[in-house]
Structure 1
Amino acid sequence: MSVIREVPFPSPDSSELPMNIWIDDADSAIDVIDALALSPFATGAQPWSRLANLERVRPDAPLSPPSGRVLRTARVDDGSESRLISGDGWTLRVVRHRNRTAMVSVTAVTEELAKSVLEQSIDGAEESVPEADHVEMGFWWRGTHGGTRSEKPITAQTWSDISANYPGKVRPAIDKLMAVTPGDVSGRLILLHGQPGTGKTTLLRTLAKQWHDWCQVDCVLDPERLFDEPGYLMEVAVGYDSDDEETQRWRLLVLEDCDELISAGAKAQAGQGLSRLLNLTDGLLGQGRDVLVAITTNEDLARLHPAVIRPGRCLAQLEVGPLSRDEAVAWLGTSEGVGPSGATLAELYAIRSGRAITPATSDESTGLYL
């Protein structure tokens, strides 16, 4: 039997909530904190709100101004913690997760106070991005309230460091792609095709590092939803622009393993998905937006939709195949384990580590993400 209770809000401005919150045994302590944090904003007592999502939060970061008073704290077994903190004219909600991300939201009686409290709470809270072999990459997914984007540092090497991982016949084309600048952009689509385990994903990480000065790379985690939901597509296509024109950059949207989207039968399989992709790359949707799209696929070029590979649409169209026998032997330093037809990058790593190689089936579609 559910027990319903009215919860008072211990605010420094008043002894009880200006509105009623009803909870029952289905609600958790964190749900209560969520409701209490929103109540001053919902009633208009604190009509200004500011929010920040943080990555790589320092373990010792207080995420609160020194003057704050902790009203509620709730911890979950998975390591998450939620806190409700208040001060003179403001209320702060802090949610910390085990993976060192956090969300900080503030409501206040004035816009200036909300901004000030948020700045004090997050100042110096994040560790700096690791240098040398890391680059910031964005990740998009469709959440409950629309598109959500998060930035994380990923490991990435320079092209000169990994060029030996790719066949000599494709290296000149990759050289050209790595050296592209905004003035060189003549097509909006980058197509990487080839069998699994040949290093397509590794190549995109390196591209993010090589283009870092002028292009932000974002990976879309649910591309099938991206082109199925126009609202989500608009959010991702518009992106986030800075008010400072000097910091506005091109964006590269990465869509991995989108065989169904660009195959010869894509129109029948994916409905309007193919049309919306083409519209983003060189149609009305893409006009005025400095957006490039990179797609990886395990399909052979001959099996792709002709509209995708028509002249002028692709900035680069690269077949990333296995290394020849001579290249594989040079990479490995020995001929042991290398077949007469060569080896993929994934196979070479497996041989070097002493792991057995499992032959890929003909319908392999997941890739080996190297």
Structure 2
Amino acid sequence: MPERNEPLRLIEFDPTAADPADSMPWSAALDSYSTPRDLLDMLTLSLFGRGVQPYYRKQQLDRVRPDAPLRPPDSRIARSVIESDSQSILVLGDGWTLRSDRWADKSATLEVIAVSDELAERIIGESARDAEVATDTDQTSVKMGFWHQGDRGPVRRALPVTTPEWPEIRGNYSAPVAGALDRLMASGPKDIRGRLLLLHGPPGTGKTTALRSLARTWSPWCQADCVLDPEQLFAKPGYLMRATMGAEGEDDESDRWRLLILEDCDELIHAEAKSSSGQGLSRLLNLTDGMLGQGRDVLVAISTNEDLSRLHPAVTRPGRCLAQVEIGKLTPAEARSWLGDTPADVPAAGATLAELVALRDRAESIAVRTEYTDGGMYL
């Protein structure tokens, strides 16, 4: 019986071969753990690896139409794999091979290998043509990217997000905060002096709403992406590079800045972050004021509930922040003006935006309080 694992072998290439792949032995093994999707990978990679079709193209699609074929007209499906969360096809053509993966979240991935780069580009273009749902022309939304660490590496999904215009929500903030945000909203690429935007204050004061409005205001010159797992972003250098450079298959937007939004990442920037978060804080600082930051037009927006005095001094040092805004409660006078004719008792210390919305809408939480007596038992 042959050994399951062969010893490592070095392959010496024949320098006289026209293509290095001609001198490379190629084999693939299937076992009981292999899946039909693994077989699709092998069938595709064998042609690419042996140099039969040496050119590769990839494109990511979002919001794909259910009836989109994801392949050129009149092409032939050689293999099809349907699973609970995906559908994959392998399509063979004259000098090209297409792998299409359609996912449950309505996204899709197209991969093409071909005998020439021009052919690969044409096939992937025909496969992607009219595949996505038409972009919504509603001006109240902005297309934002959402990053997370997937099973096979960093993943970005672009979704439309409802974003308010700044004049519509300016009254949600106290006068000093609104003035600071006025300046931030009016900033452009030529006004960038620091790479970090720090919004801090108690929960419910409107930090996220301000960031959504900022994404809309800056959309002509800056692409806003929200990172769902910032602790993973700064723990994995490869993830960090992908997020700052952009995802594969995106349109060439080299002239646009990128705004990475990190919400409620208190552990990354508090005073003890260096010891508790490992290299996370160092990589954040390098992105905003180091070699990586100088190499890319990237801004980082962080929202936190921490008080400024509890943040790491390296984060708040002069020159690091483009904006450093504490968003607090509205004063009693501002709160009463916000409520208008709504009868409500405003606390003497003022109120947060969330508290004012609850007062206006008379929102009540669903709660049950049960009292127990000494003489009984609750089962």
Give the structure 2 partner of residue 8 of structure 1: none
RMSD, matched Cα: 2.9
- Counterpart CA distance in 2 for 1:228 and 1:105 is 29
Give the structure 1 partner of residue 209 of structure 2: 202
- Does residue 1:67 correspond to 2:74, yes or no? yes
Cα-to-partner distance string for 1:167-225 (whole Å, 9 max, x where unaligned): 22310000110000111112111100011122211211111110111111222222222
- Does residue 1:347 correspond to 2:355, yes or no? yes
CA 1:299 to 1:158, structure 2 compared with 1: closer, same or farther past 3 Å? same
Of 47, 54, 58, which aligns to 1:51?
58
User: What amino acid is aligned across from residue 315 of structure 1 in structure 2?
Assistant: L
Deviation at 1:60, TM superposition (A): 2.4
Give the unaligned 5+ runs of structure 2: 1-24, 368-379
How does 1:34-183 map onto structure 2 within 5 Å? 34-78=41-85, 80-130=86-136, 131-144=138-151, 146-183=153-190
Q: Percent identity?
A: 55
- The 8 Å contact of residues 234 and 279 in structure 2, kept in 1 or not, is answered as yes
How does 1:278-297 map onto structure 2 within 5 Å? 278-297=285-304
**3-state secondary structure, aligned to 1:308:** helix
- The 8 Å contact of residues 347 and 357 in structure 1, kept in 2 or not, is answered as no
Give TM-score scaled by structure 1 length: 0.82
- The 8 Å contact of residues 167 and 322 in structure 1, kept in 2 or not, is answered as yes
Deviation at 1:356, TM superposition (A): 2.4
**3-state secondary structure, aligned to 1:336:** coil
CA 1:315 to 1:357, structure 2 compared with 1: closer, same or farther past 3 Å? farther
- Counterpart CA distance in 2 for 1:129 and 1:324 is 41
User: What amino acid is aligned across from residue 104 of structure 2 in structure 1?
Assistant: R
Deviation at 1:241, TM superposition (A): 11
CA 1:204 to 1:244, structure 2 compared with 1: closer, same or farther past 3 Å? closer
Which deviates further from its counterpart, 321-330 or 160-169?
A: 321-330
Deviation at 1:287, TM superposition (A): 2.0
- Counterpart CA distance in 1 for 2:153 and 2:34 is 24
Give the structure 2 partner of residue 366 of structure 1: none
- Counterpart CA distance in 2 for 1:300 and 1:358 is 30
Deviation at 1:318, TM superposition (A): 0.7
- Counterpart CA distance in 2 for 1:96 and 1:213 is 31
- The 8 Å contact of residues 62 and 107 in structure 2, kept in 1 or not, is answered as yes
Of 164, 171, 188, which aligns to 2:195?
188
- Counterpart CA distance in 2 for 1:358 and 1:169 is 35
Of 301, 317, 336, which aligns to 2:344?
336
Deviation at 1:265, TM superposition (A): 1.8
Deviation at 1:21, TM superposition (A): 5.0
Deviation at 1:90, TM superposition (A): 1.5
- Does residue 1:228 correspond to 2:247, yes or no? no
Higher-Rg member (1/2) = 2
- Counterpart CA distance in 1 for 2:211 and 2:350 is 23
Of 295, 304, 308, which aligns to 1:301?
308
- The 8 Å contact of residues 97 and 114 in structure 2, kept in 1 or not, is answered as yes
- The 8 Å contact of residues 68 and 85 in structure 1, kept in 2 or not, is answered as yes
CA 1:65 to 1:172, structure 2 compared with 1: closer, same or farther past 3 Å? same
Aligned pairs, how many? 341
- Counterpart CA distance in 2 for 1:81 and 1:243 is 22
User: What amino acid is aligned across from residue 336 of structure 1 in structure 2?
Assistant: A
Cα-to-partner distance string for 1:59-82 (whole Å, 9 max, x where unaligned): 22221111311122222234x211
- The 8 Å contact of residues 202 and 306 in structure 2, kept in 1 or not, is answered as yes
Give TM-score scaled by structure 2 length: 0.81
- The 8 Å contact of residues 322 and 344 in structure 1, kept in 2 or not, is answered as yes
CA 1:19 to 1:265, structure 2 compared with 1: closer, same or farther past 3 Å? closer
User: What amino acid is aligned across from residue 134 of structure 2 in structure 1?
Assistant: S
- The 8 Å contact of residues 192 and 320 in structure 1, kept in 2 or not, is answered as yes
CA 1:122 to 1:161, structure 2 compared with 1: closer, same or farther past 3 Å? same
- The 8 Å contact of residues 48 and 114 in structure 1, kept in 2 or not, is answered as yes
Deviation at 1:322, TM superposition (A): 2.5
CA 1:144 to 1:285, structure 2 compared with 1: closer, same or farther past 3 Å? same
Deviation at 1:104, TM superposition (A): 1.0
- The 8 Å contact of residues 242 and 248 in structure 1, kept in 2 or not, is answered as no
Cα-to-partner distance string for 1:241-286 (whole Å, 9 max, x where unaligned): 9999985112222111121221122222223322322222222332
- The 8 Å contact of residues 95 and 102 in structure 1, kept in 2 or not, is answered as yes
User: What amino acid is aligned across from residue 61 of structure 2 in structure 1?
Assistant: L
